[in-house]
């Protein structure tokens, strides 16, 4: 589990093809690699991946074909948001994030609003029903609050700190982002389905 509070921005330095899978070497100088062990989970742009190798400056992960097919941003040398797995004694500063991406969205608008920025994303229709005004959402691993919703779009507000300390500074219209919806919405749907299927 994760919180959606980004701890560092790393960079995919090397990509090695392994059949249909990829092995990534990610540079993470300011991520506290000394506290990480092989086998640990790390959220990379919101995707939960397992550490397979460590050096003083890099860690490696194996990305499966399945993961590549449902996410974005893991197949090119670029900056990535990083977060270590949540420990029981850690503060929950964002919201509970599993690192299991629900879909890929596209930035349709990014404009300055005072000192902040307003970001509008078009989500896949299949997951739009899980996105509600004032609900939590995770974009590329960042915990955010939905301000407005449309048919298949939603808007969030980005404060200067978030913009400067995540990969959001590189966003533009047309950028693709990993989306994980609030887990509570999925549980509510499942409970409603169960109640309907088992109604007397």
Q: How confident is the model at residue 195 (pLDDT cuts 50, 70, 90)?
A: confident
pLDDT digits (tens, 9 = 90+) for 93-133: 778 899 999 999 999 999 999 999 999 999 999 999 999 99
pLDDT at 94: 74
72 and 117 share a domain?
no
80 and 108 share a domain?
no
Q: How confident is the model at residue 185 (pLDDT cuts 50, 70, 90)?
A: confident
Q: Is residue 3 part of a domain?
A: no
Q: Is residue 185 part of a domain?
A: yes
Residues with Cβ within 8 Å of residue 68, at least 6 apart in sequence: 20, 21, 22, 74, 75
Nearest to 153 by CA among 121, 106, 126: 121
pLDDT at 52: 98
Q: Tokens 């939590």 identify what position?
A: 136
55 and 108 share a domain?
no
Q: Is residue 109 part of a domain?
A: yes
pLDDT at 20: 97
166 and 9 in contact (C-beta within 8 Å)? yes
From 84, 113, 140, give the residue that closes a domain.
Answer: 84
Q: Is residue 12 part of a domain?
A: yes
79 and 26 share a domain?
yes
CATH number of the domain at 28, please. 2.40.30.20
pLDDT at 189: 72
pTM score > 0.75 for this model? yes
Q: In the structure encoding, which two tokens stand for residue 113, read together?
A: 């609003």
Evaluate if residue 91 carries a pLDDT over 80: no
Q: Is residue 117 part of a domain?
A: yes
Number of domains in the chain: 2
Structural domain span for residue 60? 8-84
Q: Is residue 197 part of a domain?
A: no
Q: Is residue 164 part of a domain?
A: yes
pLDDT at 200: 56
Nearest to 84 by CA among 125, 33, 118: 33
Lowest mean pLDDT among 23-32, 72-81, 88-97, 156-165: 88-97
pLDDT digits (tens, 9 = 90+) for 28-63: 999 999 999 999 999 999 999 999 999 999 999 999
């Amino acid at each position: 589990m994760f919180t959606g509070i980004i701890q560092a921005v790393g960079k995919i330095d090397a990509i090695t093809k392994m059949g249909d899978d990829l092995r990534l070497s990610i540079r993470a100088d300011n991520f506290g690699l000394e506290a990480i062990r092989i086998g640990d989970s790390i959220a990379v742009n919101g995707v939960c991946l397992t550490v397979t190798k460590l050096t003083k400056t890099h860690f490696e992960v194996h990305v499966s074909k399945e993961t590549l097919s449902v996410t974005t941003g893991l197949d090119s040398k670029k900056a990535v948001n990083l977060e270590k797995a949540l420990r029981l004694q850690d503060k929950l500063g964002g919201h509970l994030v599993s690192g299991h991406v629900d879909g890929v969205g596209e930035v349709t608008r990014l404009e300055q609003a005072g000192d902040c920025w307003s970001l509008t994303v078009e989500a896949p229709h299949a997951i739009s029903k899980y996105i509600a005004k004032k609900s939590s959402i995770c974009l590329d691993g960042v915990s955010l609050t939905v301000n407005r919703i449309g048919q298949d779009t939603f808007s969030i507000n980005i404060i200067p700190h978030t913009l400067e300390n995540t990969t959001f500074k590189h966003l533009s219209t047309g950028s693709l982002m990993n989306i994980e919806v609030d887990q509570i919405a999925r549980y509510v749907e499942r409970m409603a389905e169960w109640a309907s299927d088992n109604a007397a």
